[in-house]
C-alpha cells in the first residue's frame, strides 16, 4: 500500500513547542502522532483530523514501542521524527544531587536516544526518513546556573551530529533545532530548580541570575515560531544541519563564532545581570504580539 500523506511523530506534545508543532504540521496537512506522557494533558489534539495521541514516556521503553506501533497502525509509516520531550534542571551544580542529574540525562539524552533507537530501523528499512532533535542554544552557548542542562543539550548536539555520518548511507537525514528562550512552561512545570543538597553558597547569585531568566521567559519566542522552524527543517532537502530559533539564539550563536573566547564569556556573565537585562535584554526579549 502507498501512503502519500507524510507522517510526523513528535514527542513532548502536552504543551509548548511540542503542542505548537503538532498543531502546525496538522494544519499543513500531515498525519501527526502527537505523543506525550499523559494524553489527557492536551485533549484538544485528539479532536483534530489525522492526529493521534499515543502515550509515550521517553523513560519507558515499552511505551516508546507501543507509541511507534500505534503510529504505524494508524498511518502506515513515519517520515519525520521530532524528538522534543525534555525539561530544564536549573541551579548551581553543587546544589543539585545525583538523582536530579541522572533524571536530567535520562530524559534529555538517554530517553531521546531510546526513541531514536526505536524509529531508526523503520527509516533504514524504508531507505529514507528525517530525524529532527530539539537541542537548545545552550548546547553551544552555555549559560550560568544551567550547567547540567547545558551539558545535556551539548550531549544532544554531539550525538546528533555524529549520526549524520552513520545514517547518510541509508538515506536517513538528520537536523538539529536550537531554540533560544521560548515563552513556554520551560520556567514552570518543565523545570526543576530545587536545591536538593542544601548548599547555600550560591543562594544570592542563583536568585539574581534565575530572576533574570524568569523575566526573559515571557519575551522569548512564541512556541509557534519554533514550530515554523521545525517545519522548515522538515521540508528542507539540503544538507543543512542546524536551525536556530529566536533573535537571542541567532545573536548569541553568531557572537560565539565571531568573538574572542574571553570577551564572549565576559559578555555572557554581564548579560544576565539585572542591570544589563534592563538594556540589552529588553532589546533581545521584546514581548511578541
pLDDT (tens digit, 9 = 90+) per residue, 39-51? Answer: 999 999 999 999 9
pLDDT at 277 over 60: no
Q: Tell me, yes or no, if 149 is annotated catalytic.
A: yes
Question: Which domains does the chain show, CATH number per domain?
Answer: 7-201+221-247 (3.40.50.720)
What ranges in the chain are assigned the alpha helix state H? Answer: 16-27, 61-75, 98-105, 112-126, 147-167, 203-216, 223-234, 247-258, 261-271, 274-276, 282-284
To which residue does cell 533545532 refer?
A: 177
* Model pLDDT, residue 246: 93
Residue-wise pLDDT tens digits, 55-105: 999 999 999 999 999 999 999 999 999 999 999 999 999 999 999 999 999
What average pLDDT does this structure show over 111-124? 98
172 — alpha (psi -120 to 50), left (phi > 0) or beta?
Answer: beta
Which entry of 149, 243, 277, 285 is annotated as an active-site residue? 149
Determine the Cα–Cα distance for residues 138 and 141; give it in Å rounded to an integer: 4
pLDDT at 191 over 90: no
Residue-wise pLDDT tens digits, 130-175: 999 999 999 999 999 999 999 999 999 999 999 999 999 999 999 9
pLDDT at 238 over 70: yes
Q: How confident is the model at residue 287 (pLDDT cuts 50, 70, 90)?
A: low
Q: How confident is the model at residue 1 (pLDDT cuts 50, 70, 90)?
A: very low
pTM of the predicted structure, to 2 decimals? 0.91
Amino acid at each position: 500500500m502507498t501512503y502519500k500523506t507524510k507522517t510526523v511523530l513528535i514527542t513532548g506534545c502536552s504543551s509548548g513547542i511540542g503542542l505548537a508543532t503538532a498543531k502546525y504540521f496538522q494544519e499543513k496537512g500531515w498525519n501527526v502522532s502527537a505523543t506525550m506522557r499523559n494524553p489527557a494533558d492536551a485533549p484538544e489534539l485528539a479532536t483534530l483530523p489525522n492526529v493521534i495521541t499515543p502515550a509515550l514516556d521517553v523513560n519507558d521503553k515499552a511505551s516508546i514501542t507501543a507509541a511507534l506501533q500505534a503510529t504505524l497502525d494508524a498511518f502506515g509509516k513515519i517520515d519525520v521524527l521530532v524528538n522534543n520531550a525534555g525539561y530544564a534542571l536549573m541551579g548551581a551544580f553543587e546544589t543539585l544531587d545525583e538523582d536530579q542529574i541522572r533524571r536530567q540525562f535520562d530524559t534529555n539524552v538517554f530517553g531521546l536516544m531510546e526513541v531514536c533507537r526505536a524509529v531508526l530501523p523503520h527509516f533504514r528499512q524504508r531507505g529514507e526518513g528525517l530525524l529532527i532533535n530539539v537541542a537548545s542554544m545552550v548546547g553551544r552557548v552555555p549559560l550560568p546556573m544551567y550547567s547540567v542542562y547545558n551539558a545535556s543539550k551539548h550531549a544532544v548536539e554531539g550525538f546528533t551530529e555524529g549520526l549524520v555520518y552513520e545514517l547518510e548511507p541509508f538515506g536517513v537525514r538528520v537536523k538539529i533545532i536550537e531554540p533560544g528562550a521560548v515563552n513556554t512552561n520551560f520556567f514552570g512545570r518543565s523545570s526543576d530548580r530545587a536545591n536538593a543538597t542544601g548548599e547555600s553558597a550560591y543562594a544570592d547569585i542563583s536568585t539574581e541570575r534565575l530572576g533574570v531568566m524568569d523575566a526573559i521567559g515571557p519575551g522569548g519566542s512564541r512556541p509557534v515560531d519554533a514550530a515554523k522552524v521545525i517545519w522548515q527543517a522538515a521540508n528542507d532537502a539540503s544538507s543543512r544541519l542546524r536551525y536556530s530559533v529566536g533573535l537571542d539564539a541567532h545573536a548569541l550563536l553568531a557572537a560565539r563564532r565571531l568573538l574572542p573566547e574571553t570577551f564572549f564569556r565576559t559578555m555572557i556573565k554581564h548579560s544576565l545581570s539585572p542591570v544589563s537585562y534592563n538594556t540589552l535584554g529588553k532589546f533581545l526579549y521584546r514581548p511578541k504580539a
